[in-house]
Structure 1
Amino acid sequence: MMQFANAWTPPGPALLFCPADRPERYQKALDRADVVILDLEDAVSPENRVTAREALVANPIDPDRTIVRINPAGTGDYRRDLAAVVETNYRVVMQAKAEDVDSIIDTALQTVALIETPLGATRVNEIAAAVNCIGLMWGAEDLVAGLGGKSSRFGPGEERAGQYRDVARWVRSTVRIAAAAHGKFAVDSVHLDIDDVSGLVAEVRDAVALGYTATACIHPSQVDHIRAGYRPSDDEVDWARRVVDGSAEHAGGVFKLDGQMIDGPVLRQAEVVLTRAGAGGDVPDQSE
């Protein structure tokens, strides 16, 4: 398993996109979220990208809480984006439409690979193995466009209205598995319907259950819902503490708690809960 030494990880679960050509929003976005993704790609019109790169360089914010999304490899904007990033203290980029290992290695930076094309989806395991790939994210809309489709979600009147269609769910699952297989973090995709709070909450709950590290968002109003979803409840923390303590009492062997048999996999799930809660200072290292 190839790992980048001292790789960056998101300091919190809510990653907020911000157009790079709107520097007056940089700090506001950072104040609201755990991480800001300064976007040089889809959020910026082609004619504004020069201005966006100039703003990126001229308006620094905390590099430990910032990702810069750059344009797809093989484009002129990609090269110019990388040149601009080099002039800053930012050390993490998000590679839009990542499709091969070379495009990740070529950044020479810690890179979050954004899997959002059919070709990228078929190569996600190779991409995740790149030494400077520190995490994966997936995107539904470019994926469906690449399929020649028209919607990533079921529409009104369909049985599962508002939920992802099966191909999108498959890519979401594949990205999560590839990230875990290669020891990289995973970021769940944005929920574009800002008013659909219940849909966002449900997706965050599912992301947490599957071990996603964070969820990206497009509006500050979504941040609190994401944070709440990733924060374990008091009951979950209490259960996890009792599992960890019980395991220690039984020297790591199988034991019963509240009628449930507790073994190694359940113990690891409890340790993850404590890690998310920030309550596990003595929680064993999960990297081994």
Structure 2
Amino acid sequence: MSFDMGPALLFCPADRPERYGKAAERADAVIIDLEDALAPGDRAAARTALVQSRLDPARTIVRVNAVGTADFPLDLAAFDETLYRTVMVPKAEQVEQVQALGPYEVVALCETAAGVLAAADIAAAPNVVALMWGAEDLIASLGGSSSRFADGTYRTVARHARSQVLLAAGAHGKAAIDSVFLAIPDESGLLAEAEDAVASGFTATACIHPSQVAVIRQAYQPSDAEVAYAWEILEASTSEHGVFQYQGRMIDGPLLRHAEAVLRRAGR
């Protein structure tokens, strides 16, 4: 995988090229968005801006319009004129949709009922490097009106879809990207959701505002205490055989892998 998957991926409207560089500076990667962030009449100019841009290809994703729309071939033609090679396919529902993009690395956005149910097949495609899920389009595809309860927590169907996409990605060794958090001022809510994402196994979280980047990075960066504990149990395991106790807790193979994951996130 040539794409550099950091924890905070920031969407940037493709019709705002003056923001491209700023987004790339602030986030671990930028998602230049030709789809939902644009009015249909602005897409032609946005494609021109995309072709003229010069961001780091290893830290840039381009979200095109859905396969089957009139904008999709136009978006893909513009994308092909750039040095970027990671494309986000929204409303991915069939493995054939991503297999047809063989030369490119694909982030498949499973955000409809059909897409969530097909997530495992989509994740198995060799050119798919990551799966992402989307709550709002999912609920729209079901005829619903809200993905969250009044307290901000996800409804059961959204939690199910989030888990299914994560499991599909993990089963095929692909990165999993958690959905955006729309309540921009609610940093505590974002932090709690991002902490749950990293603890559950997500690789990254997408965001819609630069202020969310630092919160997501905080969630994905292990604390000094977590790093120290991970080192301690891994060092203790070198003198033990099989299951052992450490500070009153049973330690076995899965917990050692948890510790290794903590150290990877810490860059150790």
- Specify which of 26, 38, 54 is matched with residue 60 of structure 1: 54
Aligned residues with identical type, % of pairs: 59
Match of 1:260 in 2: 249
RMSD: 1.0
Letter in 2 for 1:14: A
Q: Is the 8 A contact 1:9 1:185 kept in 2?
A: no
2: CA distance between counterparts of 1:146 and 1:263? 43
Match of 1:189 in 2: 179
Match of 2:15 in 1: 21
1: CA distance between counterparts of 2:120 and 2:161? 12
TM-score, reference length from structure 2: 0.97
Match of 2:264 in 1: 275
2: CA distance between counterparts of 1:270 and 1:91? 33
2: CA distance between counterparts of 1:258 and 1:93? 47
Match of 1:245 in 2: 235
Letter in 1 for 2:9: L
2: CA distance between counterparts of 1:217 and 1:185? 16
Q: CA deviation at 1:261?
A: 1.4
1: CA distance between counterparts of 2:35 and 2:44? 12
1: CA distance between counterparts of 2:4 and 2:171? 19
Equivalent position SS for 1:79? helix
Question: What are the ranges of 5 or more consecutive residues in structure 2 without an aligned counterpart?
Answer: none
Q: Is the 8 A contact 2:9 2:30 kept in 1?
A: yes
Match of 1:71 in 2: 65
Q: Is the 8 A contact 1:10 1:214 kept in 2?
A: no
Q: CA deviation at 1:242?
A: 0.9
Tell whether 2:115 aligns with 1:120: yes
Match of 1:140 in 2: 135
2: CA distance between counterparts of 1:214 and 1:47? 31
2: CA distance between counterparts of 1:263 and 1:10? 31
Q: CA deviation at 1:10?
A: 3.7
Equivalent position SS for 1:240? helix
Q: Is the 8 A contact 2:5 2:204 kept in 1?
A: no
Match of 1:110 in 2: 105
1: CA distance between counterparts of 2:2 and 2:246? 36
2: CA distance between counterparts of 1:259 and 1:65? 43
- Specify which of 84, 93, 108 is matched with residue 90 of structure 1: 84
1: CA distance between counterparts of 2:252 and 2:4? 30
Q: CA deviation at 1:250?
A: 2.3
Q: Is the 8 A contact 2:108 2:130 kept in 1?
A: yes
Q: CA deviation at 1:73?
A: 0.6
Equivalent position SS for 1:249? coil
Q: Is the 8 A contact 2:3 2:86 kept in 1?
A: no
Q: CA deviation at 1:9?
A: 4.5
Letter in 1 for 2:249: Q
2: CA distance between counterparts of 1:25 and 1:92? 19
Letter in 2 for 1:256: Q
Q: May I ask how many residue pairs the two structures share in their alignment? A: 267
1: CA distance between counterparts of 2:71 and 2:100? 14
Match of 1:285 in 2: none
Q: CA deviation at 1:167?
A: 0.4
Match of 1:158 in 2: none
Q: Is the 8 A contact 1:82 1:107 kept in 2?
A: no
Equivalent position SS for 2:238? helix
